[in-house]
Structure formats: C-alpha cells, structure tokens
Structure 1
Amino acid sequence: MEIINENIRKIPFVRFIIPFILGILSGNYLNLDPLILIIASFIILLLLIIFHFNKKINAEYSFGYIFGILLSVFLFLAGASEVSIKKLQYGKRIPETFGKFIALVIETPDTSGQNVQTIILIEGQSKEKTKAYLQKDLNSLNIKLGDKIFFSGKIKSINKREYSNFDIQKYYKYNGIYSEVYLKSNNWKLLSHNNLKDLKWLANKIKDKFLNILKQSLNNNIDFSVASALTIGDKTNIDTGLKSAYINAGVIHILCVSGLHVGIIYIFLQFILNFVFKIRFGQIFFAIINLIFIWIYAFITGLATPVTRAAIMISFIIIGKALKKPVNTYNSIAASAFIILLSDPYAIFQTGFQLSYLAVLSIIYWYKKIYLLFLIKNKFFDKIWQLVCISISAQIFVLPITFYQFHQFSNFFIFANLIATPLSAIIIYLSIMLIPLSFFPFLINIFGFITSIAIEFLNKYIDFINKLPFSITSPILFNNFHLLITLLLIICIILIIETRYKIFINIATGILLIAILYNLNLDYKISNQVRITNYKIKDNTVIQYFKGTNSLIITDLKKDEKNLKMINTIVNYNSVNYGIKNHITVFVNGNDQNISYLP
C-alpha cells in the first residue's frame, strides 16, 4: 500500500480532481440545496486557512492527513455547489408559449441537414441557450455567428425522443441547452451582423478563411469535406455514407479534432525544431514556438472544445518541461481537466470529454507495457508494431464507453488504424501547409493535388475495410451494470499490475463471477420474454410482438424512406435494450402486404 501512497503524492491534481468530480456527480444526480453547500464550503475553507497558518497544528504529522481530508471535502462541496447553482439557474425555463423574440446566434450554423441548425441566446429571457432549426433557404444559408435575428414562434422544451438509444435531452442539457424552436422562412428576419466580437468570433473568422483556402485548393467537395473534418473537425459537409464507413471501420476519431490532432502538431514541431535543443535556452525557445503554433491551430479550428481541451492539456506538459520541472503526465492531464471542469462542470458528462481523456490516459498507461511484450529489431516492422500498440492501448479505457454509448465494435480497427492514423497525420500537415502556400498559386495547386490524392486513397482504404465481412459487431447489449462492472475490473487489473497484491486478484475474480451470473440471468430473461407493444404514431398504428430474441412489427404506415428509418430506430432501440436479434416488419396498406426484413 506504501507504493500507492508514494505514487499518489507525485500527482496532487489527481488527488484534487477525484473529490471534485464526485461532487459534480452528486450535485447532478441528487437534489442538494445550493445554500447549504455554499455555507458548508465556507466553513471548511475557514478550517483549511486556520490549519495552514497555525504552525503548531502544522508541526503535528497527523494533522497533515486531517488537512488532506478537509481539502477533499472542500473540493467535493465545491463541485456539488457549482452544479447545483447551474441547475438552479437553468431551472427558470422560458415559458412554452408563442411569442416574439430577439436572439443572438452564438454558434456557427450547420447547413448539412434538412434545416439550418444553430444555437441562439434569447435576449431578456434566460441565460439558457436554445437550439434553433431554420427552414433552409437563401437567407438561412447565409446566417453567421454573431448575427442578431428577430423571430416569432413557439419555444419548446427539449424532450427525450421515443425509442431512441441516443438521449438527446440529456445531451443538450449537458451543453446548457434546454429548449428548441422551429422557424419557417417567413417567421424570422436578420437584424444585424457582427454582434459577438469575442475570441470565439475571431477564431471562427480565421477558420472560415482556412476553409476557403481548402475549398479552392482541393479537387472536389468530397476531398474538401474530409480535409475540413480531419483538420478542424468540421463534419457538416461530409457524406452520410462516408461518415458511416469511418464509424464502422473504427477510425471516426480522426474526423473529430482532439488530443490526437494536437499531438500530431506537437510531434511535427518537435521534429523540425530538434536543433534548438543544442543551443542555450533552446528548451524555452522550443516551448514558446510550440505554444504559439498549438494555440494558432486551436484558433484555426474555431476554438473547438476538444482542441481547446487538448491544447490546455499539452500546454501544461510543455511549460513543465521548459521550466525543467519534473513533469508527471498524469498530473498535467488532471490539471487540464480540473481547469475545464471549473469553467464547465457539465463537461464531465459529455462523451467527447470522456473519450478524449480516457484515450490519452489509456495510451500513456498501456502503450509501453504492450510494446515491451515483443521486441522487434527490424525498424520497419518495429514502426508497424508501434502503431498496433497505440491502437490497442487507446481502446482499453475507451471500450466500455464505446460499448455503452454506441453499442458496436469495429472488428478490424487495428488494420484500419495502421493506415488511417499515419495518413491522416500527413493530410493534416499538407492541409495546414496550404495556408502559407496560398500566396504562391503554382505551389498551392501542386500541394492541393497531392492532398487530394492522399484523401482519396484514405477514403478508398476505409471503404475497403468497411465492406469486409464481419467488419462490425452490432448491436452489443451493454447497460449501466455492464459499464460499472467493466470499469471496476479495469481498476482491479491496474492495481494488480502496480501492487501485485493477491487481494485485488480475489476482488477481480469476484467481479467476474458477479458479471457471469448477471449475464446468465439476463440471457434467461431475454430468451423467455413474451411481450406486445403498441406504438401510436399520429393516426397510424405500429404493433410489435416479442418472443425471446425474435420480433415482429405489423404497421399500417406507408412504406417509404422516412417510415423505414423510424421503424429501424424502434428495432435498434429494442435490439440494444431487449436483446432482439431477428426481426421482421410487415407493412399493411389496404390489400397490399409488404414484408421487409430489417436487421
């Protein structure tokens, strides 16, 4: 146990963030009184100050533990207070009535769907944000971040969509959005431009200029959509089928700007500036250049949340190395997460935040352990082995969240990442180089052509992986209990590796036995289930009959693309929640009967 204590002393921010996160979780799931929490926090803070400045108390070793406990309690109360206050602020809802409003557009509009989607802030009503859906026309396609609009319409609360595995209400809640409004072309008008001149507005201006350079340099819209997704995470123009291929191949992470992309910039700068370490103050010079370029990249992405998160994380590591302080990577990661959660405690519930931090932590912890299993002398095969190790190590902490959120697994993710990860890095380098080359028409055409060739090769490779037999395992039945058990098992495995204590082996064995018994009971319930569910959809009827893992839907809905999509949503929902494996849908319209087999 002394080993654990010694390691914990080296990572103070990890000690800070654990009680803080526990406080956030308690504040979110429990109805706690913010006033009581604030008073309790103030009392604990006074005790901490007394303990810190009283030399007699400080001299006693035992009081060091009491100070640590009080600090943990204070951080717990601080986390709970922050969330409880936010809940109170957002509790004052905009009334669900028809009215006339003035609003500010605070997010770059997404024009890829049937409607133009954006986030607005309504004047004089509430601090909460509203999701706006504008009918697509010439005016809505030209709306920008910082525009002020006038509209008349009914603002509604965002409710959970029926029979959907994706909880849209919870997703928007954790992003501070509680209401939505649908606006037809004649229900709104533009009042003025450029009403939001802050850092994010400036960053989006820079991002738009970069996107224009990309669009003019690349061969076609498909190349542009992939390049913009790879470099700045803008997936608004990417084809749905192509996006699905990236998801199924297990490489969708390269289209979501995150720590991986910031890491690519960092490694590239380290490579080209390697000579500066030989000169005096080279480490400080390298740190300054690195920080400048990393934050320029963050601005190019429009200060996208995942990139900002990663930039903060890597900035701590760079500054620590420049000051020649012993840098503990776990401590730097915890420090960046702590700062982000201080400004937005709901970030802990966002899937992007969870996957980003877990992937980085997983690589840091597991990469070396996996790499040392096989020592390969050949340099070429050693590089391939390194890529395999990165792909495997990144998945270990991420898999439980992936199963829980997406209920599928990409069987060939290792083979996909062998090509996709290094090639995506090359495409990012080439795309960013187009900015300075935009002043040289001849050079930008050459580099634009090379970038397009690289993107087209990447797309073909991903499509090839996606079309392989058994490329994905789906749907995976993985509920709250499975998530908890899996996380506890991973923690036990880490404790076994770090301490070699038999007690953790016994605990891990116990957890496995509980998991086996739970799954046996679940399989029994699923195989013996017999249910009938009647869904009322407008004036139509959808009846679903369950028996074991089989399902039959009979409906008088018209068999068209929209209704097939809705039936698929119901089927997927029941597959994930009730273990349905085989399904038949019968569309009955008068005398016409059509049988459609849906997976």
Structure 2
Amino acid sequence: MSSFRLQTRQLTFVRILFPFMAGICAGCFSEFNAILYWLLLTVAILILVLTTHFNRQINKTRWRKYKGLAINFSFILTGFCTSGLHNELVYKDHFTSHSSDYLLVKITDPPIRKGVNLQFKANVVMAVKNNVQKQASGNLLVTINTPKDLNYNEYILIKAKFKETTPPQNPFEFDYKRYLQFKNIHYQTYLQAEEYKIVKHEEKFDLTLWSIRVREQCVQLFNKYIPKTENAGISAAFLLGYRADLSPEIVNGFTNTGTLHILSVSGLHVTIIYLVINTLLLFLNRFKRGKLIKTVLVLILIWLYALITGMSPAVCRSAFMISVVAVAEGTNRYTNIYNSIAVSVFFLLLLDPYLLFDVGFQLSYIAVWGIIYFQPKIYSWVYTENKLLNYVWSMTSVSLAAQLATFPLSIYYFHQFPNYFLIANILVIPLATVILFGGILLLSVSFMPSLAGLIGLCLTNIIDLMNWILLKLSHLPFATFNGIWINNYSLLLLTLIIITIGYRLSEKSKAAWNLTFILIISFIISFNLENLMKFQENELLIFSIKGNTVLACKNQNRLQLIADQENLGKSYAFSIKPYVDRSNAQVNIDSLGSNLKSRHLVKHKNYIQFYDVRISIIDDQFRYFKPVKKLKVDYLLISGRKNLNISDLINMYEFDTLIIDKSVAEYYANKMELQCKKLGIKTINIYQSTALRIAI
C-alpha cells in the first residue's frame, strides 16, 4: 500500500470526523426546540448502537453496502444536534424569554479593564421581576463604567437592560457580532456604576478560579524579578498565555515577522513542558507500576498547565495529543498520529462545537497537520552531516511546512504575508525556548530572591536581543505583503492547490502536477478578475463612525477620504482601514474643511460633487439664507448638529434624501428623523442602518 493511502482501520476517527463537522456546520444555520435536538440525537445514537451490535449480521445481508452510509448519517446527525444544543437561544429559560427588572449574573471570564470601563462575559443565573426570582440561563457581554475592579466567579445583580450584539457597521469591518455568536454570546449590556451590586455568596472551591489565581501570582513574580515591565509581559505571554501587558508595537513586531504563534501558548510550549515533566519523572520507570504512575502524573500536570494558561484551542489540542501519546507510551501501544489528531478534534468539538469556527483552532490543527505531513518530505530534500546546518535546515523545514499548510487561511483571515518568516523563526525560536526554560526556572526558584533576580536579569537581556531582531526584521523593505484580499472561491482554489501539492510529494503522479497547474492558473484568473472588479468600482461612501463625519470617494484605483483624522483615534484602524486596504487604491486624506478639485471630484467648503452625485454638508458652520432659487443637490448630510429647523432646509434646498450621520448625538438624530417622517422627507439615519454606499 502506498504511503499516501494509510490503512483505514488505523484512522477510525479521521473517517467519522468529516461527517461530524458537516453536521456541526448544518446545525449552526438552524434553530429548533431543544427537545427536537435531543430526539434526533437519540436516533443517531440508536443507529450507531444497532449497526455496531449487529455488525456481523448486517455484513451477511444485502444491507451491508448501506452500513457506512448509516454510520456517516448518524455522525452528521450527532454534529447537527451537538451544535444545536450548544446554542443558548434554543432553551426556554433563556433570559430574553422573561420580562425582568434585574438579572443575577455570574462572572465567567476574568474581567478586562478598558480605560474607565470593565468588560467581561457573564452567565445569567436568575431573572428578577417584582421581587420574584425565576431560574434563567444565557450568556451576556457586560461592560460597566466603574473605577472598581470585579473578580472572576463573583455574582452581581444588574439592571435588566440589554440589546443584541451589533453587526458590522462599515464595509469589510471585523464582524464582532459573528465572533461573539461563536462564543455563544448574543446579547450585551452597558451599565453605569450605580446599576450593579455585588451579591455575596458561599464560596466553594473552583478549579478555574484557582488556576487564575496561580497565573496572577506567576505574573506578579515575573514583574518582580524581570527588570522591564514589557519584558516581564513577554515572559508571561510565552509561559502563561497572559498577554494583557503586551504593547501593540511588540504584537505588531511578532505579527509582521510571522512569529506571533510564539506569543500564544501552543504546541511548542506544551511539548517543552511535557519534555521537562517527562524527564523529571523518568526515575519512576524503575519501579513496578512506575510507568503507569508517571503517565497519570504527566496527564494531571499537563492539563493543570493547560488550565493555568487559559485553555485556548491550541493548548487544548496540544494537551490532548500529548495525553494520547503519553497514554500510548505508558501502555506500550502504537498510535497513528493522524488518528490522534482526529481524536483530539472530535472530543474538543463534542465539548464546544463552535470551536470549529475559531480561527486559532483552525490554524493550530492545520499547522500541525502540515508539519507532520510536509516536514519529513521537505527535510529529505537536503542532507548534511554538519550538526549546525542540519539544525538550521530542520527548523527551516518545520517553518516551511507550517507556512505552506496555513497559507490559504492566513491570507484569507489576515490579508498579509510575512516575507521574512523563515529567518525570523530560525533566529527567534531558539531564544523563545531559552526564555521558556528560563521562565520555568525563575518560578521554581522564586523563594530565593537573589537567584531569581539573577535569572530575571539574564532573561531580560535575552528578550531585549529577541526584540531587537524582530524590530530590525519588521522594518526591512518588503517585510510584509499587505492588502491581500481573496474571496471564498479563491480560498477553495488555494486549499486544493496545497492538497494536490501534498499528493504530488507523496505520489509521483503526473496527473497531480497537471491538476496543480490547472488550479494555479484558475487561481490567478480568479484573483485578477476580483482585482479588476475592485478597480472598476466607483462609489461614494458615508461611514458609520460615532462622533465623526467620514466620507470616501473611490474612483478606480484612487481613494479620497474626507475626514478630520486627528479625531478618529482607534476608529480608523477598526472601521476605515479594512475598506482602504481592500480597495487596493492610492489613498489621500483631507480634512472636512479643505477644498478639493480633480477630474471627477469637486469639494468647495460644504459642497461636494463626485461624478453626478451632489452633497451638501449641514454642520455647525451652516447658516440659513433664502436663495433666489433653491439649491439643487441629491443629498443633505447632517453633521454634528443638535438643533436644526428642517423647514429652513426645505426652503433653501431641493434635495432627494436627508442623511443623518453618527457625528450627531443619537437622541437628536432620532428626533430629526421623526420630524422628517412627519414632513414626508426621505431620511437615512445611519444609527438605524449601516454605512451608506452610493454606487456611481
């Protein structure tokens, strides 16, 4: 049998994983009663039990050819029901089904301080109406304007005012609503300090709370013994997955060099921890049942580490896989690595089916598959007996394998490619390994202040060297290719290209090369057609940004932004930059008060004409006068006004539509909209819609 065609009896979980994931995808687009899901799940389990129990009898009948179909259907149904039952909205006691005055909620994530606000995920426990308590369920994203800190596992009574999470307001903006939905959060609330009250409760031992406190103590030790706060934050990120103290510049440095995976606790970190634990416990192999005791201790310590680091998908995947390897080693059994990966995917998705849509989960598993499948083949291209060169080539082959496998999804999600990822990984991973071991050593000897301080000093010097390398690499010319946007069809083509390359590396097939060539040509055509369509797009856009008026005039490969940039702050990066990057155009930014003139765009004071579209901006500088003849425009854009006499606008302008953007306070925007409706004026209130795109 060829190496590509692995024996299917060793890949049981690989075979059932695909129908199971298909069922999860189908379940995410449906919403039925919880009872129906339980009934369907019972049917799926019955099919599995019957086909397994009567396997021999079925094999002797003509129905044997349908056995595989029945098993696949049962796992599709299992995935469908698992996904449906995970959705909080299908349960009758969800807090939105109650009319309530107050909600009793439990803080289920460590609260994060964002300026004057405190934000956290909470689980609704009770709904209160007229002092009557009723059991309730569901998750809520809570933001409180308070100087006080709250803690994980605390209970608070909050005012029952909530709304659905907000969808993207601007083109190509990050879909935070979808992100939260796959965290099983569909509603959010914003509270003032007087709208919540801490409720005392009987404290019980909570393993997650204990792990959070352990992590906090470890972070405090890093801050105590590592001289620079930023370097202490990097150590905490490496070892504990704690990234709250990292500056955006550091994160960007890792991102632009393709080494961001080092900052997130992942397979590299868990494997090193496993090797340390396994080495320390080797002496147990000498005793009777020592191997079994060692396996149990390894499993306990690995999962405790996973718990302390926050149980991210990458950590869970690594911990699960290492657990399988540890158990196999402890019981002297052979395990197929692909099946081990599939086992960990299956059980993690069984616990949380929404992980399937987590970007970190997807990239983590695809990277591992790439390393396992591609790395040996790439490594075999070069042979050297020199140990240093062999190490460098080994690291290079691992980086190439991971990058090759994750390339389609990385481009699709992040729209950039780090060109110096090979050099960065070869230089940084050894330093990261030293920092990881140094961090473990520092925590181990923290009861000896002098020694811990010396280790901390050594660590900060190594971290400074690593930061210097990343800074130099990230500022080199062409460090990254940015603004690479591909659609779903191009993503599919890229994925098929990687698969056919993988097949060709295993099977010396001419047909595989021909298919790869056809797919590459198809991708190039698809990518260029998409860019051509973007080039031909001409539009005028009014962004939906609170407190600001921002317009964009796109003419083929030129984009003119009209905004007061100094007032935008973080809004530019979150709401405007995605549109700018995706347009792939030459960008100019001018203030609202500037005058502009080009072939298709004229702006004079508050008047804008782009092609045949005419807009007059009504802002605080607007002064009413009665013209001899009404001024004719297509749109009136109300910007920053509080009080406005709509009748004055009717007397002064002849227009089709009145637009109220988010520079106007919401109360006044809604008031103006109501006045316009009474007068029969067509109105677009940006608060009630999304950014306005006017095709030219």
TM over 0.5: yes
Within 5 Å, give how 1:169-318 maps onto structure 2: 169-192=177-200, 195=203, 197-269=205-277, 284=292, 286-318=294-326
Whether the 8 Å CA contact 2:122–2:139 is kept in 1: the answer is yes
Which residue is equivalent to 2:578? 573
For 1:147, which of 132, 142, 154 is the aligned residue?
154
1:77 aligns with 2:77: yes
Whether the 8 Å CA contact 2:32–2:90 is kept in 1: the answer is no
Which residue is equivalent to 2:663? none
Seen in structure 2, the aligned counterparts of structure 1 residues 576 and 98 have a Cα distance that, compared at 3 Å, is farther
Distance in 1 between residues matched to 2:389 and 2:438, nearest whole Å: 26
Seen in structure 2, the aligned counterparts of structure 1 residues 542 and 489 have a Cα distance that, compared at 3 Å, is same
1:13 aligns with 2:9: no
Which residue is equivalent to 2:586? 582
Whether the 8 Å CA contact 1:531–1:545 is kept in 2: the answer is yes
Q: Deviations over 1:263-287 (max 9, x none)?
A: 1212344556667778876754653
Whether the 8 Å CA contact 1:478–1:576 is kept in 2: the answer is no
| Secondary structure, aligned partner of 1:101 | strand
| Secondary structure, aligned partner of 1:589 | coil
Distance in 2 between residues matched to 1:279 and 1:196, nearest whole Å: 38
1:130 aligns with 2:140: yes
RMSD, matched Cα: 3.1
For 1:411, which of 393, 409, 419 is the aligned residue?
419
Distance in 2 between residues matched to 1:274 and 1:439, nearest whole Å: 26
Distance in 1 between residues matched to 2:516 and 2:352, nearest whole Å: 35
Whether the 8 Å CA contact 1:48–1:67 is kept in 2: the answer is no
Within 5 Å, give how 1:377-388 maps onto structure 2: 377-388=385-396
Q: Percent sequence identity over matched residues?
A: 25
Seen in structure 2, the aligned counterparts of structure 1 residues 325 and 540 have a Cα distance that, compared at 3 Å, is closer
533-542 vs 373-382, greater mean Cα deviation? 533-542
Q: Deviations over 1:104-134 (max 9, x none)?
A: 1111122365532211122325532212223
How far apart are 1:232 and its partner, in Å?
Answer: 1.0
Seen in structure 2, the aligned counterparts of structure 1 residues 484 and 317 have a Cα distance that, compared at 3 Å, is same
Which residue is equivalent to 1:157? 164
1:67 aligns with 2:67: yes
1:57 aligns with 2:67: no
How far apart are 1:165 and its partner, in Å?
Answer: 3.4
Seen in structure 2, the aligned counterparts of structure 1 residues 575 and 531 have a Cα distance that, compared at 3 Å, is same
For 1:361, which of 356, 369, 374 is the aligned residue?
369
Seen in structure 2, the aligned counterparts of structure 1 residues 332 and 538 have a Cα distance that, compared at 3 Å, is closer
Q: Look up the equivalent residue of 2:161 and give its one-letter code.
A: K
Q: Look up the equivalent residue of 1:563 and give its one-letter code.
A: L
How far apart are 1:496 and its partner, in Å?
Answer: 3.2
453-462 vs 362-371, greater mean Cα deviation? 453-462
Q: Deviations over 1:449-480 (max 9, x none)?
A: 22222222222222222222221111111222
Whether the 8 Å CA contact 1:548–1:580 is kept in 2: the answer is no
Q: Deviations over 1:469-522 (max 9, x none)?
A: 221111111222221111122222223333445554444343333323322322
Q: Look up the equivalent residue of 2:69 and give its one-letter code.
A: I
40-49 vs 90-99, greater mean Cα deviation? 90-99
Whether the 8 Å CA contact 2:545–2:575 is kept in 1: the answer is no
How far apart are 1:534 and its partner, in Å?
Answer: 2.6
Seen in structure 2, the aligned counterparts of structure 1 residues 369 and 354 have a Cα distance that, compared at 3 Å, is same
| Secondary structure, aligned partner of 1:439 | coil
How far apart are 1:527 and its partner, in Å?
Answer: 2.5
Distance in 2 between residues matched to 1:40 and 1:589, nearest whole Å: 63
Distance in 2 between residues matched to 1:453 and 1:203, nearest whole Å: 29
354-363 vs 197-206, greater mean Cα deviation? 197-206
Distance in 2 between residues matched to 1:464 and 1:219, nearest whole Å: 23
Seen in structure 2, the aligned counterparts of structure 1 residues 98 and 482 have a Cα distance that, compared at 3 Å, is farther
Q: Deviations over 1:167-223 (max 9, x none)?
A: 111111111111222233333333337757422112112212222222222112112
| Secondary structure, aligned partner of 2:543 | strand
Whether the 8 Å CA contact 1:407–1:476 is kept in 2: the answer is yes
Unaligned runs of 5+ in 2: 128-135, 597-603, 606-696
Which residue is equivalent to 1:597? none
Q: Look up the equivalent residue of 1:109 and give its one-letter code.
A: P
Distance in 2 between residues matched to 1:88 and 1:134, nearest whole Å: 23
Whether the 8 Å CA contact 1:371–1:389 is kept in 2: the answer is yes
Which residue is equivalent to 1:25? 25
Distance in 1 between residues matched to 2:158 and 2:242, nearest whole Å: 28
Q: Look up the equivalent residue of 2:401 and give its one-letter code.
A: S
Seen in structure 2, the aligned counterparts of structure 1 residues 197 and 178 have a Cα distance that, compared at 3 Å, is farther
Relative to the length of structure 1, the TM-score reads: 0.89
1:490 aligns with 2:495: no
Whether the 8 Å CA contact 1:246–1:252 is kept in 2: the answer is yes
Within 5 Å, give how 1:530-549 maps onto structure 2: 530-535=538-543, 537=545, 541-549=549-557
Seen in structure 2, the aligned counterparts of structure 1 residues 462 and 236 have a Cα distance that, compared at 3 Å, is same
Whether the 8 Å CA contact 2:38–2:81 is kept in 1: the answer is yes
Q: Deviations over 1:534-580 (max 9, x none)?
A: 3354575422111222211123xx442x4154344444222454x32
Seen in structure 2, the aligned counterparts of structure 1 residues 277 and 64 have a Cα distance that, compared at 3 Å, is farther
- Which one has a bigger Cα radius of gyration? 2
How far apart are 1:98 and its partner, in Å?
Answer: 9.4
Whether the 8 Å CA contact 1:23–1:78 is kept in 2: the answer is yes
Q: Look up the equivalent residue of 1:8 and give its one-letter code.
A: T
Aligned residue pairs total: 587
| Secondary structure, aligned partner of 2:265 | coil
For 1:480, which of 488, 494, 497 is the aligned residue?
488
How far apart are 1:292 and its partner, in Å?
Answer: 3.8
| Secondary structure, aligned partner of 1:491 | helix
Seen in structure 2, the aligned counterparts of structure 1 residues 494 and 184 have a Cα distance that, compared at 3 Å, is same
Q: Which has the higher helix share?
A: 1
Whether the 8 Å CA contact 1:320–1:327 is kept in 2: the answer is yes
564-573 vs 227-236, greater mean Cα deviation? 564-573
Distance in 2 between residues matched to 1:407 and 1:189, nearest whole Å: 44
Q: Look up the equivalent residue of 2:485 and give its one-letter code.
A: L
58-67 vs 377-386, greater mean Cα deviation? 58-67
| Secondary structure, aligned partner of 2:218 | helix
For 1:394, which of 402, 411, 431 is the aligned residue?
402
Within 5 Å, give how 1:446-595 maps onto structure 2: 446-535=454-543, 537=545, 541-555=549-563, 558-560=564-566, 562-577=567-582, 579-589=583-593
Whether the 8 Å CA contact 1:89–1:127 is kept in 2: the answer is no
Relative to the length of structure 2, the TM-score reads: 0.77
Whether the 8 Å CA contact 2:19–2:72 is kept in 1: the answer is yes
Q: Look up the equivalent residue of 1:66 and give its one-letter code.
A: Y
